[in-house]
Amino acid sequence: NTKIIDEIETLYFSPRKSFKVWQEEIGQKSFVWKENEIFVAKEVLKLIVETLHIQSFKIHSLYEQLQEINEELDSFSYTISHDLRTPLTVMKLNCQILQRTLGDSEMKEDRLKSVISEIDRMTEMMQEILILSKAKKSEIVLKEIETRPIIDKIVQDVLMYYNAQNTHVEIENIEHVFADKTMVFEVFQNIIGNAVKYSSTQKFPKVFIKSQIIDDQVVYEISDNGIGIKEDDYDKMFKLFSRMSNTGNIQGNGVGLSIVLRMMNRMDGDINFESKEGEGTTFVLRFKKP
């Protein structure tokens, strides 16, 4: 059969490929449609149009419902981040007053310190939820950003914050990016902060920051020689409130990387990572090229 088809195609031009052949072989030779055939065709067309209208209405309705849900979630995030901060502050102040009136009761003092620590952690979590909500809906301005001053400032701040002055931070070949300035700061602060935090347990902690231009992207790599990530934990890396199983008592609440992922997506960028437990982690950030 294939051989016969090949022979036919050799002898004749296909009217689908040649307008001239169509004119000679098919033009003015088509059958006239009967009335009942025209009626059926019109009914089919009418059915298709009606179906499209119905589906369009359903999509619009679902979109409106999604908008309402998002507004409710934003309102919920705002309530958590703002309205609940006041009672937490009052609780903390009362605990601090109790601390000063307990005298030398060491056990009670330790318990109050634990309560204050948890209040501070909850306050920080609420603040990060607010940042996450803003990352979803806030207006962004994409422009060329000089990243070196931003990175230098962040490195200086996080080394001081984590009391990690012995961490060796190597910075090389820093390229400008096309992004939103506020979001770029948040992204680098989270990733560099994590690199310093999770390498601080090592005897000789090291962090490497570098970038290169690949096609139309600026690719940043931020590496550390810290605790690394277990392979079983890879799938929850960017999930909200998910912490890695080997983080132990290292402070954190599992919100930062969710914020980073959302911000990178909004700037038409990308984030990924490579890691091995006990050897360290490398985060790869892809920004638009200016």
Among 216, 189, 219, residue whose Cα is nearest residue 284:
219
pLDDT of residue 65: 74
According to the model, what pLDDT value does residue 283 have? Answer: 95
pLDDT computed for residue 10 by the predictor: 47
User: Global pTM?
Assistant: 0.60
Report CA 215 to chain centroid distance, whole Å.
22
Residue 191: which region, alpha, beta or left (left: phi > 0; alpha: psi -120 to 50)? alpha
HSE of 260 in the Cβ direction (CA atoms, 13 Å)?
Answer: 25
Question: 175 near 244, Cβ under 8 Å?
Answer: no
Task: Output the tens digit of pLDDT for each of the chain's 290 residues.
Answer: 555 555 555 455 555 566 666 666 666 666 677 788 888 888 888 888 888 888 888 888 877 777 776 665 665 565 555 556 666 777 777 777 777 776 666 666 677 777 777 777 677 666 666 666 665 566 778 899 999 999 999 999 899 888 888 999 999 999 999 998 888 988 999 999 999 998 988 889 999 999 999 999 999 999 999 888 888 888 888 877 677 767 767 776 667 788 888 889 889 999 999 998 888 999 999 999 98
* Residue 45, pLDDT score: 87
pLDDT at 131 (0 to 100): 64
Q: What is the pLDDT of residue 170?
A: 94
Task: Report how far residue 57's alpha carbon sits from residue 177's, in angstroms, rounded to the nearest whole number.
Answer: 41
CATH architecture of 143-288: 2-Layer Sandwich (3.30)
Q: Which residues pair with 223 in a beta bridge?
A: 208, 282
Angle between helices 256-266 and 181-199 (to 10 degrees): 150
| Every domain of the chain and the residues it spans | 63-137, 143-288
Say if CB 179 and CB 288 are below 8 A apart.
yes
CA–CA gap between residue 212 and residue 181 (Å, rounded): 19
